[in-house]
Structure 1
């Protein structure tokens, strides 16, 4: 008696594995064109006043004009530079502080109540006080962005470390791991998903607060571009800046998600059944 084992062709099997990801992408890209069509339809028939929301064609023409004269690139690069510096400082401080709170229960018990209370205050509320200490120059932007980044990173890092199973930590002790080995071989891999969640939240907060601080005190950047458009009553300029801000924020988040998949290949394999 002979038995035959049927197997899917490699190409078909690969497509089956990628199908969930392709479906998610299709769902993700379907909504923006739909909203754009509705927006254009309402503008075309005059159901949406131009002084409230300009037509998509007007906004697109504004973006093209800003790109051609170089002002869009100039403002965008300035905003990205501020975010890069502020986010780097805030993420590093957040990871270190969060690790200290997560690994040292006594420090966590001493600091956590005050930090939790301070974290409830929005960055915008700190601006008047920060202006007195650092002025309104670039230092103000860096401090605000770093602070808004550090808060979610600290919270996520602390939570990710404290949520590591005690059984895994005890296993490290049984195997005579040094404290550094337990952190690097047990705690860090288990905490990585929450760590990247905190970094993504920190990056989103950094990008949002950048716009706030540029609206408050700046003469360049995408936030300033929005302020300039509002002062000139050119809503197409405001919306053009908003579109660029949203697109860059989406790209930054996607970049961090890609890096997360690179350092956690097992997570991607589990998600698609490889």
Structure 2
């Protein structure tokens, strides 16, 4: 009689996964430490690069006075309006170009020619008929969001695997069912890539427009700080602009992740 002894199998080695946020915060922490050391040792003049503590005090003063919230509200409101208009137009135009080669043949050359001109390049021309009020900013922001959303929507719809379409047709899907159940779910990733690029372009264009023609907003805050030689105000404005832009992109990324889970289900 023989006894067979079985040893427990060794668990497969696990790859070490570091938490995402500590790794993501490592580089900003190193930059902040370098900034602090440079300020303490006087490597850079305070008029060019104020100390982090001075910038933090400026941020607190702006927040407590309400100026920061007011300027941020102006900028975010403009971006939301321009992005919604540009995204809606881009989705419609990109879908039309993807579904109708004839329509694309008429529209695409002119669209690409207009897209090649940076949004700031349109400001001197549009200032003449539109002035420097809100209509000018809305048109510039709409154009900034329209281009990437249109191109990514068209490419996303065109990239749907042909075999998926053939299977849907074999099940006698109508054109509406084909778009709803096959084409649109498959195009979610590239379309949302275009939306995120569009929002980023819209946010950058807004700051540039406010630098040129505005009396309120975060871009105007930067201009005011430069004119008053208050670099702490300029850096504080840059940090707020970066934080809001990051938050906008994070919101779209979360929405995309939810849609991706729905698409997988």
Shared topology, TM-score over 0.5? yes
Matched, 1:192 2:188: yes
Segments of structure 1 that go 5 or more residues without pairing to the other structure are: 9-15, 270-274
Aligned partner of 2:83 in structure 1 is 87
Per-residue CA deviation, residues 158-184 of structure 1 (Å, 9 max, x unaligned), is 110111112212222221111111111
2:213 paired with 1:241 = no
The 1:27–1:81 alpha-carbon spacing in structure 2 relative to 1, beyond 3 Å, is same
Question: Does the 8 Å contact 1:123/1:209 carry over to 2?
Answer: yes
Q: CA offsets, 1:105-137, max 9 Å, x none?
A: 111122212211211110000001111222211
Aligned to 2:49: 53
State which of 29, 34, 43 in structure 1 corresponds to 2:30. 34
Distance 1:31 1:268 in 2: 34
Relative to 1, partners in 2 of residues 1:217 and 1:268: Cα closer, same or farther, differing over 3 Å?
A: farther
Q: Which runs of 5+ in 2 are unaligned?
A: none
2: CA distance between counterparts of 1:108 and 1:26?
47
Alpha-carbon shift at residue 267 of structure 1 (Å): 7.8
Once residues 4 and 97 of structure 1 are traced to their aligned partners in structure 2, the CA distance between those partners, rounded to angstroms, is: 65
2: CA distance between counterparts of 1:88 and 1:135?
22
Of 220-229 and 46-55, the range deviating more from structure 2: 46-55
- 1:108 partnered with 2:104: yes
Q: 2:222 aligns with which of 203, 222, 226?
A: 226
Shift of 1:78: 0.8
Contact 1:156 1:197 in 2 (8 A): yes
- C-alpha change, 1:267 and 1:243, in structure 2 (3 Å) is farther
1:70 pairs with one of 55, 66, 69: 66
Q: Number of aligned pairs? A: 260
Q: 1:205 matched to which residue of 2?
A: 201
Residues 39-97 of structure 1: CA distance to partner in whole angstroms, max 9, x if unpaired? Answer: 11111100111121111111111101111111011000111111111111111111111
TM-score (norm 2): 0.92
How many Å separate the matches in 2 of 1:130 and 1:150?
17
Structure 2: how far apart are the matches of 1:120 and 1:251?
A: 28
2:247 pairs, out of 246, 251, 269, with 251
Report if the CA contact (8 A) 2:137-2:209 is conserved.
yes
Distance 2:263 2:24 in 1: 21
Q: After TM superposition, list the pairs within 5 Å mapping 1:115-264 onto structure 2.
A: 115-264=111-260
Secondary structure (helix, strand or coil) at the match of 2:19 reads helix
1:182 match: secondary structure: helix
- Offset of residue 248 of structure 1: 0.5
Q: Distance in 1 between matches of 2:76 and 2:264?
A: 29
- TM, length-normalised to structure 1: 0.89
1:28-48 deviation line (CA, Å, top 9, x unaligned): 121111110111111110011
Q: Does the 8 Å contact 1:261/1:268 carry over to 2?
A: no
Whether the aligned pair in 1 keeps the contact of 2:185 and 2:263 (CA below 8 Å) is no
Change (3 A) 1:60 1:126: same
What SS is found at the alignment partner of 1:264? helix
For 1:250 and 1:77, locate their aligned partners in 2 and report how far apart those are by CA, in whole Å: 16
